Amino acid sequence: MSIIFIAVNLAFALIISPLIDGFERKIRARLQNRQGPSILQTWWDLIKLFKRPTIEPQDSVKPLYKLAPYITFTSILTAYLIIPTLLPASTNFIGDLIVVVYLLGLATLCFVIGAFSSGNAYAQIGSNRDVSLFMSEELLLAFIVGTIAVIGKSLSLDRLFPLPFRISSVLALLLLFLVIYVASTRLPFDIAEAEPEIIEGPLIEYSGKHLGLLKYSIFLKRLLLYSLLLDFIIPIQNPIRLICYLIGTIILSVIYSTFEAYYGRFRIDQAIEILKRASIVALIVWMIAIVGW
């Protein structure tokens, strides 16, 4: 039973995540007084990329450069085994919150190693920024994970979904909302891929199928993080969970894309500074959780 549920969840994620990006593009376009492409446009882009041939730069370390996009993609897919999306699969035996955090870390690691192996200087600058951002983002995330563990007295996901309603849990989820925004590489936090200055950074040499896979994994990662946040809120046994989940996803993508449409890009040090300040807030939230509020 649960294996079928996992399969359904995986299929859902693979099909829907590009559509969500299409939807967000539409919203951004409307907010900026543009017509915008159709919702399916992201899917057409991906299909086009998958049909294109790939190239390999001369200076690259070929095995690493070629394999990295695949493992980035599949490590995010692996996280979908653990986090329930469309259907509430009981997948407790595969992993817990820590495993999810580290699988996302594995994806980041493969992504930057691939970029570093391309031999392009811009890719190095970009992935260097990516790792800097990842480290400071992880400080905030560590506090959130700690707070959630203290609130739920567990790290196992079926005990944490949903979190009990307390001041600390609301604050922790607000901070999680911020981390998700940073982790999903959007304006103003897409510093690693900044197009105007370092020409897409880590993605600079990637083309065709590789580029498609990397883009696809970013979409998958966004939907995964949405689901994580929603699972903390929506009761898992609720009969109308499915509807709540779908509505929640739409609401989140509207909010996130609105932010994205209105902001310019941060400098890398500004972004790290913001994350550091947020971590101090998270320390206070952790203390509130320890007190038991």
Partner 1 sequence: MEAQMLLIPIGVLIIAALVGLSKAKVALKIVSILSAVASAVIIYNGVLGLKTTIELKYNLFNSPSFFASLNYLVFRVDALSAFFLLILGILSLCTSVYGIEYMERYFEREDMRVYTFNYPLFILTMYLVVICWNLLWFIIFWELMTLFSQFLVAFEQRKEKAVRAAFKYFCMTKAGAEFIVLALILIILKATNFNANYSEIANVLPAYLSVHSTILYTLTFSLLVGLGVKASMVPLHSWLPDAHPEAPSNVSALLSGIMIKLPIYMMFRFFLSFFPLKPEIGIIIAIFGVLTLFFSMMYALLQEDSKRLLAFSSIDNIGYILLPMGAGIYFLASGNQLFGGIALAAALFHTMSHAFFKGLLFLTAGSVMYETGTRDLNYLGSLAKKMPLTASTALIGSLAIAGVPPLNGFVSKWMIYISTLSSPATSLFGIIAIFISAVTLGTFVKYFTAIFTKPPVKEIDAKEVPLLMSAPQLLLALLCIAFGIYPFIPLKMISQALGSIGIPLASLVVYPSLVVPRTGSYSPIIIFAFLLVSTLIVLLLIPSRGEVVPTWKTGRSEDLNISMPADAYYRDFREVFREVYTLGDASKRFVQKVAEIGRILGTKFEVFSYDLDSMLSIAMVLIVILVAVLGGVGL
Q: Which of residues 223-262 bind partner 1 (CB under 8 A)?
A: none
Q: Which of residues 265-284 bind partner 1 (CB under 8 A)?
A: 268-269, 272-273, 276
Q: Which of residues 203-222 bind partner 1 (CB under 8 A)?
A: 204-205, 208-210, 212-213
Rounded least distance, CB 243 to partner 1, Å = 29
What residues contact 52, with CB distance under 8 A and at least 6 apart? Answer: 207, 208, 209, 212
Say which amino acid occupies 130. D
If one asks whether residue 55 binds partner 1 (CB under 8 A), the answer comes out as yes
- DSSP state string for 154-190: ---HHHHSSPP--HHHHHHHHHHHHHHHHHTT-TTS-
Give exposure, 125-146, as e/b (b: 16+ Cβ within 10 Å).
Answer: bbbbbbebbbebbbbbbebbbb
Two tokens, residue 186: 């959007």
Name the segment binding partner 1 (CB under 8 A); options: 28-36, 105-113, 221-229, 240-248.
105-113
Q: Which of residues 110-139 bind partner 1 (CB under 8 A)?
A: 112-113, 116-122, 124-125, 127-129, 131-132, 134-136, 138-139
Helix axes 241-262, 2-31, angle to 10 degrees: 30
Nearest CA among 204, 62, 57 for reference residue 129: 204
Q: Is the dihedral of CA 177, 27, 40, 65 positive or negative?
A: negative
Residue from 96, 190, 193, 260 touching partner 1 (CB under 8 A): that is 96
If one asks whether residue 167 binds partner 1 (CB under 8 A), the answer comes out as no
Choice between 212 and 248, CB closer to partner 1 = 212
Helix axes 208-233, 62-82, angle to 10 degrees: 20
Q: Which of residues 69-88 bind partner 1 (CB under 8 A)?
A: 70-71, 73-75, 77-78, 81
Radius of gyration of the chain (CA): 19
Q: Which of residues 187-206 bind partner 1 (CB under 8 A)?
A: 199, 204-205
Helix axes 41-51, 208-233, angle to 10 degrees: 140
Rounded least distance, CB 205 to partner 1, Å = 6
Choice between 49 and 252, CB closer to partner 1 = 49
Residue from 59, 170, 238, 242 touching partner 1 (CB under 8 A): that is 59
Name the segment binding partner 1 (CB under 8 A); options: 149-157, 179-187, 226-234, 245-253.
149-157
Tracing tokens 């911020």 back to the chain, one arrives at: 178
Choice between 87 and 109, CB closer to partner 1 = 109
Name the segment binding partner 1 (CB under 8 A); options: 15-23, 107-115, 218-226, 257-265.
107-115
Residue from 19, 29, 87, 101 touching partner 1 (CB under 8 A): that is 101
If one asks whether residue 46 binds partner 1 (CB under 8 A), the answer comes out as no
Residue from 32, 90, 92, 238 touching partner 1 (CB under 8 A): that is 92
Residue from 19, 31, 39, 61 touching partner 1 (CB under 8 A): that is 61
CA dist 215 and 209 (Å) reads 10
Residue 20: alpha-carbon gap to chain centroid:
13
